[in-house]
Structure 1
Amino acid sequence: MVVLDADSLLAGDTIRTMVQVMNREPQVGILQTAPTIINARSAFARIQQFANRLYSPLFATGLAAIQMGDAAFWGHNAVIRVAPFMAHCGLPKLKGAGIWQGPIMSHDFVEAAFLGRAGYEVWLEPALGASYEESPPTLDDELARDQRWSKGNLQHAALMLFSPRLRLAHRFAFLNGIMAYASSPLWLLFLVLTTIAAVQLTIAPIDYFPDGRESPFPLWPEWRPTWAITLVVSTMALLFLPKFLAIVDVVVHRALSGFGGFFRLLSSVLLEIVVSVLLAPIRMLAHSHSVVSALLNVRLSWAGQNRTEETGWREAAMRHLPGLIIGSAWSAFAWTLDPMFFLWSLPVSVPLALAAPTTVWLSRSSSGESLSRRGLLLTPEERTRMPLLDDARGFREEAESEVALTPVEQAVLIPAVNRLHRHLAGRGAKGLKKEVIEGELDACVSRGYRGIEKGRLSLLLEDPQALTALHRRAWSAPSDSFWGQRVRNLVLHAQGLQDL
């Protein structure tokens, strides 16, 4: 079974090679590729695309060498052996408390771990090329996705600690996924404790005789600059050395032309580092909120992801207002406390204060196009024509130009799509929900669905009886009505295809 996301692409040769590997290696339960990000337009997506294309080959190769047959599964752009997957990868309902109770929200790591427990291997093969996916176009879309992932990853703590016979590598994969989000509140806690310590050092006098004045030997404060320098140097090496190793890797393999040459590559890396520094505190605050919300078991739902819309100024200002207040207040307090502590706070407080304009600028397609014209953030897939990507863009443009039906309109009008949605809808609603659905059904038929509140529209489209009635009534609607006009366009398009 080849597993794809809605934005996935796999070349035919890659799929054939993956199937051949699975046939030759019967112990492999999942064969995972390392997808490359494509089709980025906004500045934010272009930065993610560039970083993925430059850093991922080296990272994925090292990851594959460390994990061997105990790799993680990312849920798409992979091949699964169906029989063991069906036999061993059923997701249990957690039996703990809070978020550790009920269905598991993030499935892919769990399925890899369960296959490993059953004696099968999970392979990550970075040498399998022509595997692609797309990136969220804005920071806010990424953070919305991370809010769901954080809850799912935190749920894995129950499996990591209490599931029997899991391989050690998969337990560490669970831990790594948890720390991807738990590290943010730990960083925030570090900043809070550092502020408290700075207040104590500034306000409280130093006690040279903690054991009492009768002691003739004072306890002098100790300054260990070697410890501080070691911490800074090791942190900088951990953050930046892999980036420059990736540049060396590109130079060694003579692939500079794909990134626009050495100086443009170096400039792009420096730009990516600057943006990463600006985004790190914003992500820290957002992930901390996500972790706290998850621990409080705030209800979340899996919704469709934005791939086209830009972030507006009003939306950005409202979303990042708490960060602006927190960052500004912290820096103002630091200034009154000590000028050196104020300077120390700026790398965190300034990005929080600039979060709204940063988010808006990064979300703009015009910003991404401007960077591209200057030769920044280029990738080999952009500079070399690739038949797979050309075909995919052509098919997408053709599909968008043929019939301008939204997914909701397709689910209502097209018989096969309507049947699929009725099958996936499950049982019909009862009681108060049924009354709401009946009211919204009449409104949807008479005026269309665009004015219906999102939650009520979801109820309507998740009810099989409502979908059936909506399909029939939409096709019999007057020609000048909302649905009548869409039926007319659909029929004319079908007639045009028959004439061809």
Structure 2
Amino acid sequence: MDKSKTQGPGKHRWRLVANMRRAVLMLFVFGQTGVASYYLLWVLPYHGGTALEIGMLALFAILYAWIAVGFWTAVFGFVVRLMGGDRHSILKRHPDAELQQTPMAKTAVLLPIYHEPVHWTLSGLKAVYRDIERTGQIEHFEFYILSDSRDPDVWLEEQVTWNRVAKELGGEGRIFYRRRPVNLNYKSGNVADFLRRWGKRCKYMVVLDADSLMTGSTIVRMVQLMQREPGVGILQTNPNIINGQSLFARIQQFANRFYSTLFAAGLAAIQMGDAAFWGHNAILRIEPFMKHCGLRKLPGIGIFGGPIMSHDFVEAAYMGRAGYEVWLEPGLSGSYEESPPTLADELARDSRWAKGNLQHLWVMLREPGLRFAHRMAFLNGIMAYVASPLWLGFLILTTIAAANMTLSPIEYFPDGHQGLFPLWPEWRPEWALGLALSTLALLFFPKFLAVIDAVIHRYTKDFGGLIRLFCSVMLEIIISVLLAPVRMWAHSRYVVSALLNVSLQWAGQNRTEETSWKEALITQLPGMVLGAGWSAFAWSLDTMFFLWSLPVALPLILASPTAVYLSRNSLGQALKKRRLLLIPEENTAMALLEDAVTYRAQEPADSTLTPLEQAVLRLDHNRLHQALAWDHRRGSRKAELELCVARCLELGPDALTRSEMSQIVRDRESLKALHEGAWRSVPSSFWGRSIARLSARAKDA
């Protein structure tokens, strides 16, 4: 290992501090879980004397410990902020004056995309480009649009929009576009393709998502920090959610922006140089990433075989194994992303993430040399989805226990109990109430701790003032209570599907559409039936058990109207007008965010022709696509392509499959032949009618 990596301020000091903090965290978590499990043991009628109660106790302990980790992470964050920040963070090591004098290095800004709204996505990149330009450091950056889109209409539009944006910015030779002909291994494969071709051109790469926005000053500061810290392989920012329009998106936006102040500070303080990589809004040192972070296919069977779907945590673990540090730095503001606009879109995304996170179980258990902190990061990611079926299992066992107590005679000699004396069942309702309240405190106290932090550090005005902030927190709590059982049911299905290795489709994310009543009823019907059936069964057993079931059953029964109303933009905007669920970025003008809104609003007027039709008919588009195409007319392919071109000219694009259409618009000679042949078409043909629409559009313009 390069000795330079082991040098740097506080290298060994932070390791010692991190181990002490993690030890304290584990002491609090396991100590609290032990006390809570003891209370549950005495709440249960037979005090763990039956197999059913032992199962309940085991599931409760696992779930309680996982919740406790989140609780104490927030507490750590509160304490760290109360002390003025973490003095061991890399941002605290270097004064602003020192960073400003740090020489820059060539950095690539990557935008991997797959069937995203083209104008909307590239307008965001345009805003980032302009903001870096304002720093005066644009000459140190190159931009790469890395497409995996398969639909010709999408990637032809990507090529035209890239060309237009590059010209508008004067970025020719600085903004590049590449579409992989074969999109293997998802996003990680796309980035790997870039590294194989251009990895040696730059020292660092900043990875964005389609919805990412980062200020130029933050990106420049990240490069300067990497220059000052040669032992850091990945520097991760804490992205804040912005631009929420629907009620659902604004709830997610508020929760992320407000609560993450504590959670991110606590997480960074505990992980320190063993942090995770979240796949975007981060800067990576290219040379060690290329050398150490290649992803091999998993050698197992089913879900544990084939390419790794969720690559980011694995790459961070490999970087740590190679001796490099990975830092989460919450002090780097100006990092943004967007939330799915509806519950349906969030759950569709989670269905993919669940499978990817479960794959990490193989890496966590079988990959040698990984740091303990990174293995724990894998476990936390796995629990984000496995917690749902565990919770569902706990509810099932609780229901069975309640049914046994109601419908079956009392067992004085339950399974496993031996001796001459009976085991008398005992009920301790006051202990049960105390245990329930302690669990609720773990879930909701950090939210109110965030309010206290806002008061102490005087930023309540950024969220609409103390009264509106408190109302926003209460509204978010109500919505989160309604959504928790719905997510539990959905995630439980996703975990089972992942373990059965059900194939998934990857697609671009919906950015604007609301949820219809029909869609909501279809997607939420199984959960609604489950909730209604469980509630009815609880009512038949016991009134108290029925009341106990309502916090879970009622949200499931109301899942459809919840999904519909949360997707409404009108409700989100109504609350915004009343300054509820407000975030600081909606109070303060920022050039980056204003540019993004302006550029996205300047979407070219809708054309009467599809991007594919324009690629054939418009000379400027056709020449551009020819310049980006290759000559594929070799051997038997020549006759095949010529037949496809002839059929397209005679009957139109709909006569070809998407694969056939992709082949001919990827071929230079075919594009030329399509253009020339289409303009010779008779007026009554498909292309003749398209020419008429194009001419009419030109006259109107």
Scaled to the shorter chain, the TM-score interval is: 0.7 to 0.9
Contact 1:33 1:78 in 2 (8 A): yes
The aligned counterpart of 1:76 is 280
Counterpart selection for 1:383 from 567, 573, 587: 587
Counterpart selection for 2:373 from 166, 169, 174: 169
Change in Cα spacing, 1:215 to 1:392, as seen in structure 2 (3 Å) is closer
Contact 1:445 1:483 in 2 (8 A): no
Counterpart selection for 1:292 from 479, 486, 496: 496
For each residue in 1:71-110, what CA deviation from the matched residue of structure 2 results, as whole angstroms up to 9, or x when unmatched?
1101111111111111111111011111000111111111
Distance 2:318 2:419 in 1: 62
Are 2:516 and 1:304 aligned?
Answer: no
The aligned counterpart of 1:97 is 301
State how 1:230-269 maps to structure 2 within 5 Å. 230-269=434-473
- Structure 1 residue 404 displacement after superposition: 8.6
Q: Number of paired residues?
A: 482
Counterpart selection for 2:312 from 108, 111, 134: 108
Distance 2:297 2:432 in 1: 46
Name the amino acid aligned to 2:338.
E
Counterpart selection for 1:65 from 244, 269, 284: 269
**Secondary structure at 2:595 match in 1:** helix
Distance 1:239 1:407 in 2: 50
Distance 1:364 1:440 in 2: 45
Change in Cα spacing, 1:211 to 1:229, as seen in structure 2 (3 Å) is closer
Name the amino acid aligned to 2:323.
G
Q: Which moved more, 1:372-381 or 1:12-21?
A: 372-381
Change in Cα spacing, 1:238 to 1:211, as seen in structure 2 (3 Å) is closer
**Secondary structure at 1:294 match in 2:** helix
Distance 1:274 1:353 in 2: 16
- Structure 1 residue 422 displacement after superposition: 6.3
For each residue in 1:29-53, what CA deviation from the matched residue of structure 2 results, as whole angstroms up to 9, or x when unmatched?
1111111111110000000111111
Change in Cα spacing, 1:399 to 1:65, as seen in structure 2 (3 Å) is same
**Secondary structure at 1:352 match in 2:** helix
Distance 1:440 1:360 in 2: 45
- Structure 1 residue 385 displacement after superposition: 1.5
Change in Cα spacing, 1:486 to 1:399, as seen in structure 2 (3 Å) is farther
Are 2:203 and 1:203 aligned?
Answer: no
Counterpart selection for 2:348 from 137, 144, 150: 144
Distance 1:295 1:442 in 2: 45
State how 1:443-458 maps to structure 2 within 5 Å. 446=651, 457=658
Counterpart selection for 2:221 from 6, 17, 24: 17
**Secondary structure at 1:132 match in 2:** strand
**Secondary structure at 1:391 match in 2:** helix
Taking only the aligned residue pairs, the percentage that are identical comes to 60
The aligned counterpart of 1:88 is 292
**Secondary structure at 1:223 match in 2:** coil
Are 2:389 and 1:185 aligned?
Answer: yes
For each residue in 1:449-494, what CA deviation from the matched residue of structure 2 results, as whole angstroms up to 9, or x when unmatched?
6x99xxx64x456x4445438745664535874754786699899x
- Give me the TM-score of the superposition, normalised by structure 1: 0.87
The aligned counterpart of 1:2 is 206
- Structure 1 residue 247 displacement after superposition: 0.8
Counterpart selection for 2:601 from 366, 377, 397: 397
State how 1:124-135 maps to structure 2 within 5 Å. 124-135=328-339
Q: Which moved more, 1:254-263 or 1:439-448?
A: 439-448
Long gaps (5+) in structure 2: 1-204
Change in Cα spacing, 1:365 to 1:101, as seen in structure 2 (3 Å) is same
**Secondary structure at 1:58 match in 2:** helix
For each residue in 1:120-141, what CA deviation from the matched residue of structure 2 results, as whole angstroms up to 9, or x when unmatched?
1111111111111111000000
Counterpart selection for 1:321 from 525, 548, 553: 525
Distance 1:396 1:196 in 2: 55
Distance 1:26 1:404 in 2: 54
Name the amino acid aligned to 2:593.
L
Contact 1:474 1:484 in 2 (8 A): no
Distance 1:205 1:419 in 2: 81
**Secondary structure at 1:53 match in 2:** helix
Q: Which moved more, 1:186-195 or 1:144-153?
A: 186-195
Contact 1:422 1:464 in 2 (8 A): no
Contact 2:626 2:672 in 1 (8 A): no
Change in Cα spacing, 1:443 to 1:270, as seen in structure 2 (3 Å) is farther
The aligned counterpart of 1:333 is 537
- Structure 1 residue 24 displacement after superposition: 0.5
**Secondary structure at 2:326 match in 1:** strand
Q: Which moved more, 1:46-55 or 1:438-447?
A: 438-447
Name the amino acid aligned to 2:354.
S
Distance 2:433 2:509 in 1: 43
Distance 2:629 2:698 in 1: 23
Distance 2:272 2:664 in 1: 50
Long gaps (5+) in structure 1: none
Change in Cα spacing, 1:211 to 1:10, as seen in structure 2 (3 Å) is closer
Aligned Cα RMSD in Å? 3.5
- Give me the TM-score of the superposition, normalised by structure 2: 0.63
For each residue in 1:208-254, what CA deviation from the matched residue of structure 2 results, as whole angstroms up to 9, or x when unmatched?
35599x98744321224465244313311211111111111111121
